[in-house]
């Protein structure tokens, strides 16, 4: 499902791994730089200098930015700080993805 | 003592180049992604922006417009006496061509530009731009497009409102003070006003609105580091906006009226 194929960028050198659907991985880094760079690569914010990142068998960076973002409708990410938008109430944060992607009204989303 | 610091000049030139490059990218992104306004949450952000930028500014704009109109009619009457035709022309030259678009833009820069840049800078620093990506929502579509559309529409509407208020209040004051009759004066303005002047003033308002909104988003979204980047984004946006709108005002005035 997610595959890193000899990916290099900044402090990340020649990283390869594969994670199948239902699989679990724990990835530890020896520095904050490497961890942050890995996260930027994984979330499609930075393009690898060499190698490929494959999501669902397709090159992540073969897609335009809005298509890469749309992939996150299929992949859940739980940030350490909670992942909320601060100018929305808690229930608005919970409803926002359904409201945005499914074209529901606010009442329908509730 | 060094009078000219080449490093400072170089940084200013590079900063300006980065700004215009970023402005260009954000402008064309917004044009391409205007369809995002069809999504209900994005429309909600648009409406909130119009309310904050346009509706909430009306109080300040009304006072400034009224006082501007009163000052102009009083000054003209004190210089040339009761001259309806000349007063109408001066009212059009000052209020419709220049003061309306400029003062409206300045009020909106003071209120909305700093607020928008601060809000976006704060979201960037707290990582909330990424939180939107993790929800599968393109940050540009949800944050930028409605703000740019909302601020631009608000500047155009507020400019028109400023011009009407300044003219009506200016002549109302003149009528109360016995300088000139109200109805005849308003009729004089309407008969002197040409459609091209109205359209050019609204074009100025449209351009100013785009500049203010895109610049505020640019400075907000480029913030990095700690919370000290937030006020820097706000002041950067305000100063850049002030300089740019005065420059563009001169260019548009020269292009259409010289």
Residue A44: helix, strand or coil by DSSP? coil
**Inter-chain touch B142–A45, beta carbons under 8 Å:** no
Q: Which residues of chain A neighbour B42 with C-beta distances below 8 Å?
A: 100
Model confidence at B191: pLDDT above 90: no
Beta bridge partners of A5: A52
Q: Which residues of chain B neighbour A69 with C-beta distances below 8 Å?
A: 133, 136-139
Clarify whether residues A5 and A29 are in a common domain: yes
How far apart CA B54 and CA A31 sit, in angstroms, is 48
Q: Which residues of chain A neighbour B142 with C-beta distances below 8 Å?
A: 100
Clarify whether residues A94 and A50 are in a common domain: no
Q: Find the mean pLDDT for residues B175-204.
A: 89
Clarify whether residues A71 and A84 are in a common domain: no
Model confidence at B246: pLDDT above 70: yes
**Inter-chain touch B126–A72, beta carbons under 8 Å:** no
Clarify whether residues A64 and A89 are in a common domain: no
Mean pLDDT, all residues of chain B:
92
The reported pLDDT for the residue numbered B206 is 97
User: Does B8 fall in a domain?
Assistant: no
Closest CA to A54 of A19, A79, A14: A19
Q: Find the mean pLDDT for residues B32-61.
A: 94
Domain coverage including residue A56? 1-75
User: Does B53 fall in a domain?
Assistant: yes
What does the pLDDT look like over B2-38, one tens digit per residue? 667 778 888 888 888 999 999 999 999 999 999 999 9
The reported pLDDT for the residue numbered A25 is 82
| A76 against B128, higher pLDDT | B128
Clarify whether residues A61 and A12 are in a common domain: yes
**Inter-chain touch A106–B133, beta carbons under 8 Å:** no
Closest CA to B137 of A89, A93, A21: A93
Mean pLDDT, all residues of chain A:
85
Model confidence at A11: pLDDT above 70: yes
Q: A83: nearest CA in chain B? A: B131
Q: Find the mean pLDDT for residues A39-63.
A: 88
Q: What CA dihedral angle connects A104, B137, B206 and B199, to 10 degrees?
A: -40
pTM: 0.88
Clarify whether residues A26 and A57 are in a common domain: yes
Contact call for residues B110 and B53 (beta carbons, < 8 A): no
Q: Please give the tally of structural domains in chain A.
A: 2
Give residue B93's pLDDT band: very low, low, confident or very high (50, 70, 90): confident
Q: Please give the tally of structural domains in chain B.
A: 1
Model confidence at B187: pLDDT above 80: yes
Q: A68: nearest CA in chain B? A: B136
**Inter-chain touch B41–A99, beta carbons under 8 Å:** yes
Question: For residue B98, what are the contacts with CB-CB under 8 A and spacing of at least 6?
Answer: B249, B253
Domain coverage including residue B134? 37-257
Window 61-100 of A: residues touching B by CB (8 A cutoff) are: 65-66, 69-73, 76-77, 79, 81, 83-87, 96-97, 99-100
Residue in the block written with tokens 């559309």? B149
Beta bridge partners of A58: A55
Q: Find the mean pLDDT for residues A63-89.
A: 83
Residue B238 has which token pair? Answer: 């305000």
**Inter-chain touch A96–B133, beta carbons under 8 Å:** no
The reported pLDDT for the residue numbered A109 is 61
The reported pLDDT for the residue numbered A23 is 82
What does the pLDDT look like over B202-217, one tens digit per residue? 999 999 999 999 999 9
Select from A64, A66, A99, A109 the residue whose CB has the most chain B CBs within 10 Å, as the one to mutate to test that interface.
Answer: A66
The reported pLDDT for the residue numbered A106 is 61
Clarify whether residues A2 and A49 are in a common domain: yes
């Amino acid at each position: 499902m997610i595959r890193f194929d000899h990916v290099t960028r900044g402090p990340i050198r020649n990283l390869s791994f594969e994670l199948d659907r239902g699989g679990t991985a724990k990835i530890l880094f020896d520095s904050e730089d490497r961890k942050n760079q890995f996260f930027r690569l994984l979330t499609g914010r930075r393009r690898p200098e060499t190698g490929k990142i494959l999501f669902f068998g397709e090159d992540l960076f073969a897609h335009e930015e809005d298509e890469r973002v749309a992939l996150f409708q299929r992949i859940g990410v739980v940030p350490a700080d909670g992942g909320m938008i601060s100018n929305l109430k808690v229930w608005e944060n919970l409803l926002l993805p359904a409201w945005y992607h499914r074209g529901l009204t606010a009442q329908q989303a509730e | 003592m060094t009078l000219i610091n080449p490093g400072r000049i170089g940084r200013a030139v590079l900063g300006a180049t980065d700004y215009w490059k970023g402005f260009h990218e954000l402008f064309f992104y917004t044009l391409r992604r205007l369809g995002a306004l069809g999504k209900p949450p994005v429309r909600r952000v648009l409406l909130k922006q119009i309310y904050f930028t346009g509706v909430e500014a009306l109080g300040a704009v009304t006072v400034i417009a009224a006082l501007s109109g009163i000052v102009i009619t009083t000054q003209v009457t004190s210089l040339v006496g009761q001259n309806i035709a000349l007063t109408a022309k001066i009212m059009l030259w000052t209020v419709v061509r220049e003061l309306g678009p400029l003062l409206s833009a300045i009020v909106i820069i003071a209120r909305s530009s700093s607020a928008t840049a601060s809000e976006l800078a704060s979201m960037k620093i707290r990582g909330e731009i990424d939180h939107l990506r993790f929800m599968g929502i393109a940050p540009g579509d949800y944050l930028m497009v409605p703000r740019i559309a909302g601020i631009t529409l608000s500047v155009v509407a507020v400019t028109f409102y400023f011009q009407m208020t300044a003219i009506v209040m200016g002549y109302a004051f003149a009528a109360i003070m016995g300088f000139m009759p109200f109805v005849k004066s308003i009729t004089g303005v309407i008969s002197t006003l040409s459609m091209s002047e109205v359209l050019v003033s609204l074009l100025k308002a449209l351009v100013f609105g785009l500049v203010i909104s895109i610049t505020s988003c640019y400075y907000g979204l480029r913030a990095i580091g700690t919370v000290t980047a937030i006020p820097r984004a706000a002041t950067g946006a305000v100063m850049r906006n002030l300089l740019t709108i005065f420059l563009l005002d001169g260019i548009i005035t020269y292009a259409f009226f010289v």
